Structures are given as C-alpha cells and as structure tokens.
Structure 1
C-alpha cells in the first residue's frame, strides 16, 4: 500500500454523501508525511545553518562593490565566471597578500642593508670635512689684514690666495723619492703629490679659465648718450661673447689654445652660489705631479705679471682629485672663482666624494655591485606581473588601490637610476679608475667633478626609491590592526582635503616673495634675487623668523609687509589648516569606516596565529607572567592574546551552536521517520477493521472500495493519533485500497 498526500477539499462525490451522510471537515483528520520531503527540509536546514555561520564570520560582504570584488578575485588568481565565490576569493586574496607582504619586506630589508653598506659615508663625511677645513682655514695677507677663502672679493684677493693659500694646500706634505710615500725625513722632497693630509693625487692639477671678448658699447646695452664716449665694454658671459683666440699662458712665452668641452672631456658646471652654468671649454694650464714649489711660484708670478686674469675673465676653475686608500674614497675638489662684469670676485667650491664601481679583488664590493642590478631586475619582474594584472582588470579597478601609484613612482625612479648608472660607468673619469698606471708622467686629466655629480645623482634616486618603497609598506598594516588601518585612512583623507590649503599657501608665498623682492631688492640679505626671496619666505614659513635686516632697511615698509604676512599665514592659514584636519578626522570617525576585505583577512590571520600560538604553548611546561613593571610589555602581549582567545572562543561557540542545531534537526527527522512507520501500521489496522465491519453489514466482499478520510475515524468519532509532526500541513487525497480476497 502506498501512502499519498490528501487533497484539501472538493474531492467527494454525491455517492459518498449518500453512503455516509455528511462531508468531512476541510482540515485533516490524520497527517501523513513524505520521508523524501523531510530529507529535503533537512538539506535546506543544513544549508541555512552554514549560511548563518558564514554570515556571522563574514559580516558586511554584501556591501563590497563589484569593482572591488573583481579586483580581489583577479589578484587572488581567480577567473571571473559563474563559479567565482567571493569568500573563496577573499581567502586566496589574503594568502596572496601574505606572500606579497613577506616577499616585499624581504626585498625592502635587503635593499636597505645593501644600500647602507655600499654607501656608508660615515668615513666619507669626515674626509669631506677635512678637505673643507684645509681650504677654508687657509689665511693669506691682503693689505693690512688677513683674509680667508670666503672673504675673497676682488682680483687682488684672488692672486693673494692663489700665490699663498694654494701653495699651502698643494705642498703641505713631503714624500720619499724612492718609495713615493709621505715622509718627514731630511732627504724627503717637496712636490705636488699629497693633499688633505696623506691623500695622494691621481691626476695633475688643472687650472681652467673662461674669457670673453671686448664688445661694442651698444652690445653691452649702455646709455645711448654715453655710447659715443666709450670705446667698448666687457659683457657678462654668454656663448656668443666667449673668446676663442690664443692667449698667453704657461710655460713662459707659450700660447694657450682654446679647447671645447668635448676636447677637454669636461662637462658644464654651475657651483654653489654661482650666477649661471658655465660650459666645459676654455684655456687650460695643467700642473704635473711632482712639480716643485719654486716652479709653481714662478708660474703664479708670471701669470700675474702678464695679466692672465683681466677684465675679460669670467671664471677660473682649479680641479684637485685625490684618493683615500684607507676607506677607498675618491675626493674631487673644485675651487671656483666667478669674475663679475662690475669687478667683484665671488668664490665658490664643490666637493664630491665617491667610490669606484668596484674593486675586482674585493668580493664584498663585487657582490654589492651586482646586487644593485639584481634589485632593478626584481623591480622589473614586479612591473611585468603588474602589467599582467592591469591587462586583466583594467586601469580603473587596479588603481582604485592608491598604493599602486607608488609602484609607478618607484618604476620611474628605477629607470632614471639605471640611465644615470650607465652614464656614470661610461664617463672617461670612471673608466680611467680601472686602469693601472706605472708612471706619474703624462697622466690624462678627467672631469671627476662630473663623475661625482652623477654618483650623487644615482644616490639621490636610490634615496627616493627607498622613500617611496617604505611608504608603500603602509599598504599592509591594515591587514594586521584595525586601528592602524583607521589612522592610515584618516591620513589619506586629511591629505586630500589639505591639497587646496597647500595651493593657497603657495599663492601667498609667491605673492609675498615678489613683494619683498621688489621692496628690498639687493640691499637686504636674502632678497638679492627672486629665488632667494622665495627661499627666505619658505624659511620664514617653517622656521624662526629673523627680520632685523628688513626692519633696519625700511621700518614702515617692513612693518606693513611683515605684519600682513604674519596675519595671513600665522593667524588665518594655520587655523584653517587645524580646522581642516579636525573636520576630516571627525568625518572619518562618524562614518565608521570599515574595509570588509581587510576585516576578513584579519580574522583569518588571527585564527592562523592562534593556532600557531597554541602549538607553541604546548611545548612550554609552565607559562606565567610576572607583575613587575619591567614586564609591562609581556603583560600587554598576554592581554592581547587573551582577547584574541576570547574572540576565537566566541566564534567556536557560534559554530558549535550551529552544529548542535543541525544535530537536533537530524534527531527530529529520525523521529518523523518512526512516526511515519507507526502511522502506516495504524492506518492498515483501521482500514482492515473498517473493511471487515462494512463487509459483514453489507454482505459485500472482495471488491474495491473508495474510502474517504471520514472512514478513518474511530467508532466513537475520534481520529487516530498522527504522531509527531514537522509543522507542515499535507493536502488530503483519496486512498485507494484493494479489498483482501
């Protein structure tokens, strides 16, 4: 006999009414359950339990934007299709971020260590300071007083320094003629070989001059009414005015030929406090190594006597290059004198400390050299991976993460570093450092000032790579701590809102720099040019203000400009800046910013961390903390672990509760199955009893009878107990039962 579900109404015909007299109630008298339906309910309930548990663990994932979900899936290595599962993508994304974080930290630490070892300038700084003191401490007689290098103001001071100070610099040490090392013995000789203590020179000392030709008065832009009274003028340096005719020089009676920068292997130069950038050509006098002091003295006296420096001289350069064998540093010293058209002489200088590419006999230097290019190769590999990701997800999705813009900056600086590095290693000066020479005669003179400049440029590019590399590390702390994530997000938002403030500040500084420059001009230090005025205003903005010189020049004008600047900047702009910061902070705080992806990764990271901590604690026999103040860090760490354990216990309780409910459902279904069996047996008994009774009364046996649910009632009108139910009503139908033969 098969059990069927009963229809609810309008299924009884008139014959049934005639036989039984009444129509049964619309409600079921007995409830029969389908086991297959019960197992379907069980499966649905199990799915609901899992979904409820996952919803508790991944609260808020429904708020993830489609672009963000796509980016996560692609970065996790998943293709976006109908089977793509966001929780699975988050899990794999977290694993990918963990591996990326570990690899990036390893790269950053290795890059920092290699850079610090290769460019360790603690000793180079001392060498530089020693060279500066050896020049700035030189004193020479000028009329009735003694001057130093920085006090040179005219041509007479230049010649006095040239004849006295330069001699003291070049002949400070004597050397042994047999071993060519520094010696104080009685037979030691004095010559150009060592400077700055005991550092040997690696090339001759070069003196180079730039000269201009005499021009007509109109060319010099004199007053047209005075042009007829003048026979010519000596203009400021320009390429079209440069003199290229042979000039008298040294040795006596010889003529110096003009040479271009390519012929001299010299590059343009604009030193500290220089008014312009000067080319690398000019008239050159090289003083060979081992030259005696009396020969140099004779040369200086002869050049002074023939007016080698005259009204047309615009610049004189003195190049000295030495090597410190203790720390393997090279030092390029360039002493520079700029001769102004109005008669002033402005001294300047440039010191460059650098190393050779590497010394073939030193393994550490060779390893560090190739590791730099290895870091560049790693950066280019990361660039290829990022281009692949960019191809998959597109620009908009990929760069929705602002930290990817740091990658663009790092790639740009790395390409600039590579170009600078290749240019540095191909310069004649750097190539000459790898050459071995056995004689001090006929040495080539190279522009090591330019070598040092490129070396410092490569260092600066590495500095910016390191800066943005460490800033990019701020992308990962948000996966560890929510407080750190909130702070970083607030900093980003504050920076965005402060951009208009900095723009307004720039306009105000430019306006007041121009006003101060026009008002005080060259009479006040710090405002000789617009660039210096701008620098002074920036210094006033972020440093202590010194306005004594301004007030002493014009008290009324200085008061007006200075007070208005202080009111605009110190009172208005600073307060606006503080208000902007506070407003952006409170906006972020009230919005209750939450990055659901970071939150999920943090949860998984805590679970993994707790598992490892539990494994480690299993091997510790006794684990307790001291209450001493010196163990505060351990107490804080224990507190954090306890909080994490409590959170993990809460999650475990949720999961345990869900599975207990699942087990209850299974138990209920088993009870339902038992009830179905009991109901089946009772139904069979009732049908048999009814059939036998009706058969005896009507005298009919062996035929089929259609019985309604009404016939399932007992004689006293009560229905049999249907047993436990699942709360689902089953529709009534006919039960067709064949009469027993």
Structure 2
C-alpha cells in the first residue's frame, strides 16, 4: 500500500529529495509528465466551450440592434433624449425583433414566432423596464424654489419611486420589487441599478407590441423621475447551439439627456448535443479525476509539512487552481439543471418573458473563472521546470530585486497619483478620459505606452495642459520608468553571473543521458552474450553435447543458469544433445535477435 501511494502521489514534497539530486529530478520529471496531461485536458475543456461563431453571433446582434438606424436617422448609440428613445423603440427595435417576411415580402410562415435574421428564434417576449426616482428627493436652493417646482436627485437605491402612476392598472404603472420579478442589479455607466421597477412585457407579434409602446408613449410612461430604461430579450440559434442574451440600457442622468449602453452575452447553455460535445464530456470526467488526484496529493503534502506548506507560493497556487476547479464543477451541474427547468417552463408558456439574464451572467463569470484558472495552470508549469538552472533566472531575479522594486514603487506611485489628481482637477470637466479619478489613472498608464490625446488636454487648459503633459512625460517616462528598468537589468546581470559560476548540478538532460547509457550498456552486453553463444555453436561439429557447450561458455565468463536456460530452450527432446536441426533453429533465432539489437 505504501509503495502504491509513493508511486501515485510521490512528489518532491512527499519524498526525501534534499540530499538526492537524482531522485529530485526524477520525481519532478514524473510530476511534470502527469501535469502536462492535466494541462492538455483543461485546455481541451476551456477551448471546447468556445467557438469563432460566438463573435459573429454577437456582431450580428450588435449591428442589428445597436448600429442600425431607423427612418428618422436615430440608432441606439445616437439616443440623446427621451424623444430619441421612443423613435428608436418604435422603429429599429420593433423592426429588429419581429421578422415576418422574406426580403421579397413573402411570408415566413412561422406563425407568431419571430426568427431574427431568419436563423435566431426570439425566446418568449421582450421586456421593457424603467427605474424612477421620487420627486423632492433632493433640496432646491431657497433662491430658486419659486421657479423650480420639483427636484429629482441622481439615482440612489433608497430614493427609488415605488408609487403607482399614470394609468395605475398594469405592470407598467405599478412598482415591483426585485424579488417579485426575479431581477438582478446592473452596473451601468453612471451607477449600479437595482432589479426592481415598472415593467411592460411586449407581445409575440409586431402589431401588438407597437400598440403597447404607443400606449406607454401617449400616457407619458417616461418622465423627469426616470433614471434608467432596460430592454431585455433573448434569442437562440440552433445551427450553432448558442444563446444570445441582450440588454439595452438608456440612462437618464439628473443633468438631462440620455446615455445609451448595451450588454450582449453570447453563451452556450445547452452543452451536450454533438459528438464533439460528448468528447468534451469525457474530458470533463477526466478533469474530475485529476482534481480528485491533486486533492489527495495536496492533503498528503499538508500532513507532512503542516503550516510550513503555505510558505511556498507554488503550494498556494495549487490550492487556488483546485478551488476554482471545484467551483467550476459545481456550477456546471447547477447550470445544466437550471437551463432544463427554464426551457421546460418556456415551452409550456411561450408568451412569457424568457429571463436568461441570470444564467447568462453566471455563465460569463464561469467562463471568466475558467480563463483565470487556465492562466494559473500555465503559470504553474514553472514549478516543475525550476530545477533547471536557466529556468530559475526569472524567479531569482524577481525575488532578489523585490525589496528594491517595493521601495521604487512607493516613490513611483506618490508621483503618479499626484499627477492623476492634478489631471482630474484640471481636465475633468471637459476631457472624458479625465472625467473620473479612476479614468485618470488608466489614462496616465496609456500615456506611458504612447496612447494619448494631447489636443484634448491642450483645449481644456492652454497653459497648464502642456505643462502637465511635458513634466509628466519627463519625470514618469524618462526618469522613473528607466530607473525601474535599471533595477531589473542590474539584478539580472548579478543573478546570471552567479549562476554561471556555480557548479553544475544534475540536470534533466543528464538524466536522459544516464538512461540512454544504461540502456545502451544493457544492449551491448546482450549483444556480446549472443556472440558468445554463436561462437560456442560454431566450435562444435555434428552434435553438441551439453557439457561441451557449458564448458565453452563458462570459459567466456557466463553463469551456469544462463547456459542451462539457453541450452534447454532448444533441446526439445531433452537428451542433453543438440542435433543439427536444433542447432540450426538456434542459429536462426540468434541471428534475428542480433539484427533487432542493431536496429
């Protein structure tokens, strides 16, 4: 049992390899080979869930619902007022959602089901939802109270309007909590919005949906209190087995105007249909076996080293990879069950809103998690190749200059954040890339890489703009960045010089050479033994007795048991004598063995 455990889970941390360089290299090599198989499996899993069709599906939906303009020239990205929103909703939106005719005006004959671009089935009905802010949610200055009758604050979750308004009856005029409509919060361009609000589900036909939109427009559904309008719908393409979950958002800030944004998630929610899908299923099973294998390995290492186990960054990385993998496995099972339930409900009631937003969001997070896990899995390869002197240069360089880099980083970010605050205060009111402090930080990183808009800075402040730009480039790019590179280069030179002067330890190539030499020596000895037996056969004439055969080979240094085994193999009648036929068979087999060894 102990031997089996060592063979399966023997690692450099479970074996005593501190004083045995050859055992260390051999154990590391075995770990590397097992890990390469695991890495290939996780790559197949990750890339097996993606397809180039995903991009083109997203592009097709973006072109149709975001970039297509209506008769009035309004497209989604050009919405700047509430009037523009209604023009878009009654024009490009309805035209894109409901396809009832071919390009030659012949009927699609799809009953009341819409197939967008003739290929993408609209699932259920679209939903339009708005979030409002209460009147007098902010305070008007005394000097303007006579002229300004109402005050609607910027969006805040605690100031949401939850009173019925307008026609009062119907979901569009009655407030619904996030729990009631099973909504979820959304991170917009201005702020994060809740999943509550007033909603109107459209219909399965274009005519009925147009009537519903006209009713909303005529009864002033959007007003001064409106802060955001969401349009949600989902499509399914059976050709590529992909779902496209679309959310169009128009934010109405307290400043007036409208800010459009959109989110299109193309995901694969139904997993197992084609032969390739079932191959990926097999890879998933292998992946589960590997995770179980590595869990046992880490437990064994933890039992041996206890708390000192966490001193190594590689051990922590092992745990991170395993934990992410376990979460991915659990979500995979949850997603499969959830999709089956949701599709079953949708097939029973095709006229309801198909809420795939929740699944699409978590599927996207699942894909992101797999991407991060695959990244860590590739980085972990360095753990197994670190026994090579050349491969340790990077880790040694970074480890040795860590303190110098830390001291430099403090100095760098003091200057960097000082310039970020200066840029925000100087240009924040006019230049979009400096409109928030966070954007300032990323803008300054882009300036270091040569990506900047100098004209916008110059227009914002004709005096301080050029001064800000010139001094920032001089101090950060020419001085600080080159100091950082100098620290790295100097440390690398020291590490490389030390490694070149060190005595060469046993390397991976040495193990291969040793194995090759051992195999070569075995083949050489075997070849010599065959030659000796052939000489013994040629030394006799006619029949060869066992005693003569044994005496000849013993003089050449062969053992009794080897001689007896070789003789009895061809002495079929057991009379201790090799006749001419038996000798001939022995010669033929010896020649064949010799040829095989030469090849």
**Gap change, CA 1:249 and 1:461, over 3 Å in 2:** farther
Q: Do the aligned residues in 1 keep the contact of 2:21 with 2:506 (CA within 8 Å)?
A: no
> Which structure has the higher relative contact order (CA within 8 Å, separation 6+)?
1
d(CA) in 2 for partners of 1:616 and 1:221?
95
Alignment of 1:392-407 (within 5 A): 392-396=304-308, 398=309, 401-407=312-318
- Report the equivalent of 2:344: 435
- Report the equivalent of 1:156: 83
d(CA) in 2 for partners of 1:263 and 1:592?
66
d(CA) in 2 for partners of 1:258 and 1:610?
82
From 20, 28, 32, the counterpart of 1:97: 28
- Report the equivalent of 2:165: 247
**Gap change, CA 1:234 and 1:192, over 3 Å in 2:** farther
Cα displacement (A) at 1:538: 2.1
From 296, 317, 321, the counterpart of 2:234: 321
Show structure 1 runs of 5+ residues with no match. 1-71, 79-84, 176-181, 619-741
- Report the equivalent of 1:621: none
Question: Does residue 270 in structure 1 map to residue 161 in structure 2?
Answer: no
SS at match of 1:599: coil
**Gap change, CA 1:285 and 1:493, over 3 Å in 2:** same
SS at match of 1:464: helix
d(CA) in 2 for partners of 1:77 and 1:486?
26
SS at match of 1:344: coil
d(CA) in 1 for partners of 2:458 and 2:244?
43
Q: What do the CA deviations read for 1:651-701 (whole angstroms, capped 9, x no partner)?
A: xxxxxxxxxxxxxxxxxxxxxxxxxxxxxxxxxxxxxxxxxxxxxxxxxxx
Alignment of 1:12-411 (within 5 A): 75=13, 77-78=15-16, 87=19, 89-117=20-48, 119-140=49-70, 146-174=73-101, 185=106, 188=109, 193-215=114-136, 219-227=137-145, 230-248=148-166, 256-271=173-188, 274-289=189-204, 291=205, 293-359=206-272, 362=274, 364-366=276-278, 368-369=280-281, 371-372=283-284, 374-376=286-288, 378-396=290-308, 398=309, 401-411=312-322
d(CA) in 2 for partners of 1:76 and 1:341?
64
- Report the equivalent of 1:57: none
**Gap change, CA 1:322 and 1:596, over 3 Å in 2:** farther
Moved more, 515-524 or 232-241: 232-241
What TM-score does the superposition give when structure 1 sets the normalisation length?
Answer: 0.63
Alignment of 1:533-544 (within 5 A): 533-544=440-451
Cα displacement (A) at 1:157: 0.8
**Gap change, CA 1:254 and 1:97, over 3 Å in 2:** closer
d(CA) in 2 for partners of 1:129 and 1:150?
15
Q: What do the CA deviations read for 1:590-629 (whole angstroms, capped 9, x no partner)?
A: 32368889636653343114556889999xxxxxxxxxxx
What TM-score does the superposition give when structure 2 sets the normalisation length?
Answer: 0.77
d(CA) in 2 for partners of 1:617 and 1:348?
75
SS at match of 1:247: coil
d(CA) in 1 for partners of 2:182 and 2:479?
55
- Report the equivalent of 2:511: 604
From 325, 333, 336, the counterpart of 1:414: 325
SS at match of 1:204: strand
**Gap change, CA 1:552 and 1:394, over 3 Å in 2:** same
Q: Do the aligned residues in 2 keep the contact of 1:525 with 1:549 (CA within 8 Å)?
A: no
Question: Does residue 454 in structure 1 map to residue 362 in structure 2?
Answer: yes
- Report the equivalent of 2:569: none
Moved more, 526-535 or 101-110: 526-535
User: Alignment RMSD, CA only?
Assistant: 3.4
Cα displacement (A) at 1:497: 4.5
Q: What do the CA deviations read for 1:523-581 (whole angstroms, capped 9, x no partner)?
A: 12211222222221222123423211011221211112111111111111122022112
Moved more, 316-325 or 529-538: 529-538
d(CA) in 1 for partners of 2:228 and 2:425?
29
- Report the equivalent of 2:7: none
Cα displacement (A) at 1:376: 4.9
SS at match of 2:185: coil
Cα displacement (A) at 1:349: 0.5
SS at match of 2:46: helix
Q: Do the aligned residues in 2 keep the contact of 1:206 with 1:284 (CA within 8 Å)?
A: yes
**Gap change, CA 1:134 and 1:599, over 3 Å in 2:** same
- Report the equivalent of 1:24: none
d(CA) in 2 for partners of 1:342 and 1:616?
87
d(CA) in 2 for partners of 1:264 and 1:509?
46
Show structure 2 runs of 5+ residues with no match. 1-9, 526-599
Q: Do the aligned residues in 2 keep the contact of 1:249 with 1:308 (CA within 8 Å)?
A: no
Q: Do the aligned residues in 1 keep the contact of 2:250 with 2:259 (CA within 8 Å)?
A: yes
Cα displacement (A) at 1:228: 5.5
Q: What do the CA deviations read for 1:14-40 (whole angstroms, capped 9, x no partner)?
A: xxxxxxxxxxxxxxxxxxxxxxxxxxx
Q: Do the aligned residues in 2 keep the contact of 1:497 with 1:584 (CA within 8 Å)?
A: no
Structure label with greater radius of gyration: 1
d(CA) in 2 for partners of 1:204 and 1:353?
18
Cα displacement (A) at 1:86: 5.9
Q: Do the aligned residues in 2 keep the contact of 1:73 with 1:90 (CA within 8 Å)?
A: no
**Gap change, CA 1:617 and 1:226, over 3 Å in 2:** farther
